[in-house]
Chain A
């Protein structure tokens, strides 16, 4: 037990901060409304009318300029922004070709402004529209050039629009940015934020497992039967009488404690505080008292470590390791 206890507290010192960070970042992420994080809270969802492909002028794929489809792993003919296009998926992501002439479509700033305005339901106005290139922190799941449209609202909305497809890539705001920061703390990937298979987190979690397992074992030893007596309302509470002797020969007192309760805690519950730094954890050895009893149990491992042998022989024990028994006579330490 003493070894486990030592392991537990040193591991706690070593990685306790990260455990607190895991719990607080997990809590923060759970508290944030997913609709606000994703931005759909401020998004206008328009009914989608089916856009049928029109008959008439169209280039067959083999009539397109040959380099346009090179490396394509996916091709799809569909309607986009009111015109018929080939969507081409290749190593550089998606791009659109005009199905009538094969030109590569590029969407300009005005289109981005228009698209963002139509999508956005919030109260802000467009402040700036700037060009950028994915992937960066906020567009890390995409590739290619984009327009970033910033709004003047309280949550600093930014809508990203692809120059290649004219469509919305991401909606970002303060909720998302806060969530993403805590997600970084949670995954411990301080660069890309999404790689939770990194070796740092693996190392820390392996240590944390030991912290957890040692804690569980310690938990079993840290309760006395008496602490669960409340679960059985029919078991009458048995009391024992304990005499407290004054070290200077003054008058003694008698206190009544629950039988089997932890002596240190039971005395504290009566307002009698024995000296202690660790609070009854068997760490500091300060709560030692001399006990006179008909049958005093042998010193345990904790007491062997914290109470000098000559004192143990005289009947000194640690109150935090003892359970209250009828007839104990305790010599109290001198008050300081």
Chain B
């Protein structure tokens, strides 16, 4: 049988390479994408404007929070929400939410599609128009799987397939997605080998591949010891002319 460690190392490196080489290459490629493309860009920071503005307060003659607490005894939270610079109240109860216009004191939620489009355009940092709006009430796409529904999806007609997801109650820009984010998400799926949820990095398939991959890399390191030995270190073999 084969006894030489160099031969064993070389054979292991070859066969393990055949076994996990493709996945190691996928790890490298997906890693490359994730380190090269800036994460703030991936999060869509460059797609939006008019966020993180200082809130204006409702005027003294407007409906106040004391009135709202009287009117909504189930309220657990009252948020001050800016819709295109005008501050509104979002009343949250354990079951549902309402948007209240502080000037009229009326419930104005859910927002009309037209208003959702205006809010989306107000936040969109680009020239493109809106190509599609749809209210998602069930079966959310993968890219918003953790978000609470319903949500408006507003698609823009730009080259990155930008989508804004907007809360139908208070017009909040819940999240944004575009092709770079979607590619990142796909790469992350490949990286952690969770092809269903794309979230779990603690599962047997990944761990098995990592152990095989690590063994593969270590046999490569082992081989380095043999691969840098040249002929000059060889003893004469007696077969010289």
Chain A residues within 8 Å of B, Cβ to Cβ:
9, 12-13, 16-17, 19-20, 22-24, 26-27, 29-34, 50-55, 58, 60-62, 69, 71-79, 196-198, 201-202, 205-206, 208-209, 212-213, 215-216, 219, 222-223, 247, 265, 268-269, 271, 273, 275-281, 283-286, 288-290, 306, 310-311, 314, 316, 331, 333-334, 336
Contact = CB atoms under 8 A, between A and B. Distances in A.
Given A12-B224, A58-B69, A279-B5, A23 B213 contact: yes
Contacts of A290: 239
A246 to B, nearest CB: 11
A55 B73 CA distance: 8
14 contacts: A24-B214, A30-B203, A33-B202, A55-B66, A55-B70, A58-B65, A61-B58, A72-B55, A212-B28, A269-B2, A278-B223, A279-B9, A281-B223, A289-B239
Contacts of A283: 226-230
Contacts, number: 228
A133 B58 CA distance: 34
Contacts of B94: 50
B6 A278 contact: yes
Interface in B210-227: 210-211, 213-214, 217-218, 220-221, 223-224, 226-227
Contacts of B39: 196-197
B4 to A, nearest CB: 6
Contact of A279 (B6, B28, B64): B6
Given A20-B221, A76-B79, A223-B14, 18 more contacts: A19-B220, A20-B218, A23-B210, A27-B210, A31-B207, A50-B76, A53-B76, A55-B69, A71-B54, A72-B55, A197-B38, A198-B35, A268-B3, A277-B234, A284-B233, A285-B234, A286-B231, A306-B231
B44 interface: no
A32 B201 CA distance: 10
A77 to B, nearest CB: 4
Contacts of B25: 212-213, 216
Given A53-B75, A247-B239, A273-B3, A201 B35 contact: yes
Nearest to A13: B224
Nearest to B77: A78
Contacts of B141: none
A32 B203 CA distance: 10
B73 to A, nearest CB: 7
A271 to B, nearest CB: 7
A30 B58 contact: no
Of A22, A72, A206, chain B has the most CB atoms within 10 Å of the CB of: A22
A194 to B, nearest CB: 9
Closest 7 CB pairs of A and B: A279-B6, A334-B238, A333-B237, A27-B210, A277-B229, A75-B80, A23-B214
Interface of B: 1-11, 14, 17-18, 21, 24-25, 27-29, 31-32, 34-39, 52-55, 57-60, 64-66, 69-70, 73-80, 93-94, 201-203, 206-207, 210-211, 213-214, 217-218, 220-221, 223-224, 226-231, 233-235, 237-241
A76 B60 contact: no
Nearest to A247: B238
B17 A219 contact: yes
Of B1, B17, B227, B229, chain A has the most CB atoms within 10 Å of the CB of: B227
A77 B77 contact: yes
Contact of B229 (A269, A278, A336): A278
A219 B21 CA distance: 9
A314 B80 contact: no
Contacts of B35: 196-198, 201-202, 205
Nearest to A269: B2
Contact of A61 (B65, B207, B227): B65
A316 B239 contact: yes
A109 B228 CA distance: 62
A209 B181 CA distance: 23
A280 B10 contact: yes
Contacts of B237: 275, 286, 288, 333-334, 336
A185 to B, nearest CB: 13
A309 to B, nearest CB: 11
A12 B227 CA distance: 11
A282 B9 CA distance: 14
A205 B6 CA distance: 28
Given A60-B66, A196-B39, A247-B239, A52 B4 contact: no
B235 A205 contact: no
B14 A222 contact: yes
B21 A216 contact: yes
A283 to B, nearest CB: 5
Of A23, A52, A288, A333, chain B has the most CB atoms within 10 Å of the CB of: A23
